[in-house]
Amino acid sequence: MSVQALMDFIENSPSPYHAAAQAARRLEAAGFAPLAECRRWEVEPGRGYYVTRNQSSLIAFRLPAGKPEGWLLTAAHSDSPTFAVKNDALEGDDRYLRLAVEGYGGMNRATWLDRPLTVAGRVLVRTAEGAESRLVYLDRDLLTIPSLAIHMQRDVNKNHDYNPQKDMQPLYGLTGSRSLTRLLAEELKVEQQALLAWDLVLCPRQKPVVLGAEGELFQAPRIDDLGCAWACLEGLLSAGGQEKLGQVYCLFDNEEVGSGTRQGALSTFLPDVLERLACCLGMDGQERRMALAGSMLLSADNGHAVHPNFTEKADPANRVYPNGGVVVKYSANQKYTTNALTAGVFKAICRRAGVPVQTFANRADEPGGSTLGNLLGQQVSIPMVDIGMAQLAMHAAVETAGSRDPDYLARACAAFYECRLVQREDGKYSL
């Protein structure tokens, strides 16, 4: 599995809607059948299916031959820090046209300046039947957020505070240019009056590239967390089916803003899917709870590699590096869900698959952010372990990681999906 496959996935996923759609296309090509939450489900043992919510989150599953005795799950997220487009034009100097945007998620704002940008997402279009959502990506160098020249802010290199309303509104063009609404209508081949609403974000135009003297690094937008989204999907698609365990792939939106949405990890999406499957498969209450107890979930989100210029920022005893292998993340305050039991099971699976593993923990004086696992744990009571790839420049417009790590992570996920996990009793597993 080459890093090029991941870079292609990233390039074709400029928004969470495109990421979910691309995952759906790959699943269908592999024989997974689409389901809809608004329709009755009819499923067959041994087959694969997927369902989406809000077009930006997706859950896929491959059923075992009989009633599942447990679920092997992975979870990643489709969103990344960016700017949401609010309005077509922002008032200001009448010689310039700007878009009105608002920050989405925590980002390094300076990295978004002075680079080609465009917009992507979905547009609601009026049709004869009502309204229809359509994906859109303006595949051109359309926007930029120009920085203020150093001559006009001599202290810009001394802890400059970028105001999102003042500093970060993108330049769209000059007076007389076609409006964004018109460009969208032309792209979708509809009249401007047919555009009802949109969910659009800014995206960097830089193509993913391989870096380093030996090609040992790669750089791209949205490595966090499309790197994990791709690897988990690769793992599911390359793994074979199981007799007793169901295999589940989760791709959630809105992790970067807390996951508290209808399509986020804190929503009922995963519990709803598992409940409907249990009903379809004729599982009673005891069987459902036994299956949850016999399950395990990989919460896949990237970790901070040791920075070459700021090595002191890394924990002295838990340092991870690009191409060092899959990262297992620990947090004493339970921001990550890893414990000795789940880490031990995952490390045993990786060792059997020949995949290297490295351990990450934040410095004791540097609290880390939370991710999917500790939020999903509030919805489904399943043992979990937090994993990911080591990367640099997390939440920058463009990020960097090791070119061998996507393959390591995909192989680890495939081995996880193929393991014969059996909980013999609390604290004891057979693999």
CA distance 385 to 141: 40
CA distance 375 to 379: 7
Phi, psi of 255 (to 5 degrees): -65, -35
**Co-location of 11 and 160 in the same domain:** no
Q: How does the average pLDDT of the chain come out, rounded?
A: 94
* Confidence grade of residue 423 (pLDDT, cut at 50, 70, 90): confident
**Co-location of 146 and 98 in the same domain:** yes
H-run or E-run covering 233:
helix 223-238
- Residue 291, in any domain of the structure: yes
- Residue 95, in any domain of the structure: yes
**Co-location of 261 and 178 in the same domain:** no
Q: Which of 204, 236, 256 is the last residue of a domain?
A: 204
> What's the burial of 110, exposed, middle or buried (CB within 10 Å: 0-12/13-18/19+)?
middle
What pLDDT, on a 0 to 100 scale, did the predictor assign at position 160?
86
What pLDDT, on a 0 to 100 scale, did the predictor assign at position 420?
93
Closest among 405, 430, 409 to 345, alpha carbons compared: 430
DSSP state of 259: S
Q: Do the strands 131-137 and 357-361 form a parallel or antiparallel pair, or are they unpaired?
A: unpaired
β-bridge partners, 59: 51, 250
* Confidence grade of residue 91 (pLDDT, cut at 50, 70, 90): confident
CA distance 4 to 190: 35
In this predicted model, what pLDDT tens digit does every residue of 242-297 receive, in sequence order?
Answer: 999 999 999 999 999 999 899 999 999 999 999 999 999 999 999 999 999 999 99
**Co-location of 405 and 266 in the same domain:** yes
Rg (CA), the chain: 22
Q: Which of 178, 204, 230 is the last residue of a domain?
A: 204
Q: What's the CATH number where 388 sits?
A: 3.40.630.10
Q: Do the strands 245-252 and 70-77 form a parallel or antiparallel pair, or are they unpaired?
A: parallel
CA distance 426 to 129: 54
In this predicted model, what pLDDT tens digit does every residue of 96-154 receive, in sequence order?
Answer: 999 999 999 999 999 999 999 999 999 999 999 999 999 999 999 999 999 999 999 88
- Residue 380, in any domain of the structure: yes
**Co-location of 234 and 255 in the same domain:** yes
Q: What's the CATH number where 163 sits?
A: 2.30.250.10
**Co-location of 64 and 193 in the same domain:** no
Domain housing 337: 3-80+221-430
Instruction: Count how many Cα atoms sit within 13 Å of the Cα of residue 207 in the half-sphere of its side chain.
Output: 6
- Residue 113, in any domain of the structure: yes
- Residue 286, in any domain of the structure: yes
Are 259 and 252 in contact by the 8 Å Cβ rule? The answer is yes
Are 412 and 72 in contact by the 8 Å Cβ rule? The answer is no
- 61-99 burial code (b ≥16 CB/10 A, e <16): bbbbeebbbbbbbbbbbbbbbbbbbeebbbeeeeebbbb
**Co-location of 190 and 321 in the same domain:** no
**Co-location of 270 and 235 in the same domain:** yes
β-bridge partners, 211: 217
**Co-location of 410 and 277 in the same domain:** yes
- Residue 137, in any domain of the structure: yes
**Co-location of 268 and 129 in the same domain:** no
Is a pLDDT exceeding 90 seen at residue 17? yes
Provide mean pLDDT across the span 206-224: 97
Stated pTM of the model? 0.95
Which residue is it, tokens 């979905």? 122
Q: Which of 204, 238, 262 is the last residue of a domain?
A: 204
Closest among 281, 134, 243 to 196, alpha carbons compared: 134
Q: Do the strands 131-137 and 82-87 form a parallel or antiparallel pair, or are they unpaired?
A: unpaired
Is a pLDDT exceeding 80 seen at residue 1? no
Closest among 97, 78, 70 to 17, alpha carbons compared: 78
Residue of 26 and 175 predicted with greater confidence: 26
In this predicted model, what pLDDT tens digit does every residue of 367-421 receive, in sequence order?
Answer: 777 788 888 888 899 999 999 999 999 999 999 999 999 999 999 999 999 999 9
Instruction: Count how many Cα atoms sit within 13 Å of the Cα of residue 428 in the half-sphere of its side chain.
Output: 2
Which residues have CB under 8 Å from 319's CB, separation 6+?
A: 306
Count the domains in the chain.
Answer: 2
Determine what percent of the chain is predicted with pLDDT higher than 70: 100
Label residue 259 left, alpha or beta by phi (over 0 means left) and psi (-120 to 50 means alpha): left
**Co-location of 38 and 123 in the same domain:** no
- Residue 212, in any domain of the structure: no
Is a pLDDT exceeding 60 seen at residue 334? yes
- Residue 215, in any domain of the structure: no
Are 63 and 281 in contact by the 8 Å Cβ rule? The answer is yes
What are the Cα distances from residue 346, in Å, to 14, 136, 290, 356? 31, 39, 21, 11
CA distance 46 to 51: 17
**Co-location of 21 and 74 in the same domain:** yes
CA distance 79 to 221: 11
